[in-house]
Amino acid sequence: MAYWFHRNPLKATSPVTFELAGVSTNEATRKIFSDMRIHRNKLLELLTDPNHDKGTLEKTANDYFSLLIGLVRPFEEGETENKLRTAVKFRWTNTLLGNTPIEKQDAVFELASMAVNVALWYTKHSAKWAAKDEVDMEEAKEVHKCLRTAGGIFNYVKTELVPKLTDNTENATDTDSRVLDAYINQCTAEAQEVTLARAIELKHSASLIAALANETGQLYRRADDALASLDDKIVGKWRKYFQLKSDFYIAHAHCYNAEGLLAQDKCGEAIRGLQEGITCYDKAAVICKDYSTTKGPGTQAKPLNHIFFRRLGPVMKRTLDKCERENGLIYHQKVAYDPPILELKATFGLVSPEEFKPADLSPLWSVDVYKKMDSKMVPKPGPQLPGQKEDKDKEKPKELPPVKEKEFPMSDKDPKNNSGCILS
């Protein structure tokens, strides 16, 4: 596929034993915590490799979440909060903030953090397919589906879990609504790139393609706007990805809009639109160079050299040359000072995140099992490690090693068609 995606690193976390002596009082309660540890470890292992089968990842995530929500949802009538919500301490890094973790004794924090990592896996799984030399129809559908799934998970974290957290929801953490909005818009925009590829390959009307390209550019712009109030040293690289993609797809929109205008014998407007498209493209080229040299989390790449970018410029220049020749020989129309306004709203092909359905509660949980848990033995928030002492002036938690993710090669071959996506 003729596309390239920026990907932030997975969140790192400390091992959790779920050994709660005194809280679990019988075999049924002990099995819940034992299975929770097993499923968590398995899920963390699967998340490091985007090549794993999607069904395997989904089942393992569901197995873990179905047990974890037993520490989150109330069981008894009149209960406003699960008595076990603060039973276990969790440590997680954030995708944009390096290797220093946040420590919270809160199962909702664990649920939100792990859900973000699962969503990130879907984005990396989709990028793995998109990185192939040629992508067939079923693989393109997989890319599209995974991106919509990821967007739905990010949206679930933002709307359902973040409101239940008491802190650590600002300053570029993964539970900062601005960061989550950026992820949601990114997933939606990237899925729409696949839709746009399909429209191009199936030779849909220039007006529809222009509208889809314009909508895609606006989605990337909204993703960039979401991060505008955060420290550029933290989000600068990510923002440049959004900016270059936004300008690239606005250029795309002007290119196809010009085709539609030429078909209506509006050659002067088509010329001005193409000139504006080339301006946007040149602006994107500058940002591509900046992206390559900007430090920060995320993909290390040179998008200026990538096939997704370098194909559009020559196409626009050839089309502009054609329009200028025809205007000189046939139309003799004045070229306007202002570019045509892209008042384009796509009527087909618009993408939205797929609604995320939380896991059902594991059958290992029941009201009786919950009642057997001794909440009086739940550790008080604070140091839990053996020999660790309370220190009001203690330094920030020790850094965690970054997750060792399996990389996937990015194709540098030109596709054999207009979009790089085989729709047969």
- H/E run at residue 115: helix 107-130
The per-residue pLDDT for 417 is 52
Could you give the CA distance from residue 10 to residue 242 in angstroms, rounded to a whole number? 19
pLDDT of residue 384: 44
What pLDDT does 329 receive?
92
pLDDT at 385 (0 to 100): 44
Checking if the pLDDT of 400 tops 80, the result is yes
Its pTM stands at 0.91
Q: Could you state, in order of their start, the residue ranges of all structural domains in the chain?
A: 8-175+361-424, 203-353
pLDDT at residue 178 is higher than 50: yes
User: Is residue 133 left, alpha or beta, with left meaning phi > 0 and alpha meaning psi from -120 to 50?
Assistant: alpha
Question: Residue 6: pLDDT band by 50, 70, 90 thresholds?
Answer: very high
For the chain, report the end-to-end CA distance as a whole number of angstroms.
14
If you average pLDDT over residues 143-152, what whole number do you get?
A: 97
* Statement: residue 347 has pLDDT above 70: no
Fold equal for 8-175+361-424 and 203-353 = yes
Confidence at residue 421, expressed as pLDDT on a 0 to 100 scale: 37
| pLDDT band, residue 387 (cuts 50/70/90) | very low
Q: Measure Cα distances from 48 to 12, 51, 407 in Å.
A: 10, 9, 9
The β-bridge relationship of strands 102-104 and 90-92 is antiparallel
Nearest to 1 by CA among 174, 214, 196: 196
**Is residue 377 pLDDT above 50, yes or no?**
yes
Is the per-residue pLDDT at 386 higher than 50?
Answer: no
pLDDT given at position 374: 87
| Class level of CATH domain 203-353 | mainly alpha
- Spatial separation of the C-alpha atoms in residues 227 and 115, rounded to whole Å: 21
Q: Nearest-5° angle of CA 83, CA 88, CA 90?
A: 135
Judged against a pLDDT cut of 50, whether residue 388 lies above it is answered with no
Is the pLDDT at 97 greater than 80, yes or no? yes
- The Cα 32–Cα 18 span in angstroms is 9
Query: What average pLDDT does the segment 230-244 reach?
Result: 96
pLDDT(363) > 50: yes
Residue 1: what pLDDT? 39
Average pLDDT for the chain: 88
Please tell me the distance from the alpha carbon of residue 304 to that of residue 290, in angstroms, as a whole number.
10
Class for the domain spanning 8-175+361-424: mainly alpha
Higher per-residue pLDDT: 304 or 115: 115
| 45 in Cβ contact with 63 (< 8 Å) | no
Range of 76-90, 217-231, 345-359 with top mean pLDDT? 217-231
- Rounded to whole angstroms, how far apart are CA atoms 219 and 129? 22
Express each pLDDT in 248-285 by its tens digit. Answer: 999 999 999 999 999 999 999 999 999 999 999 999 99
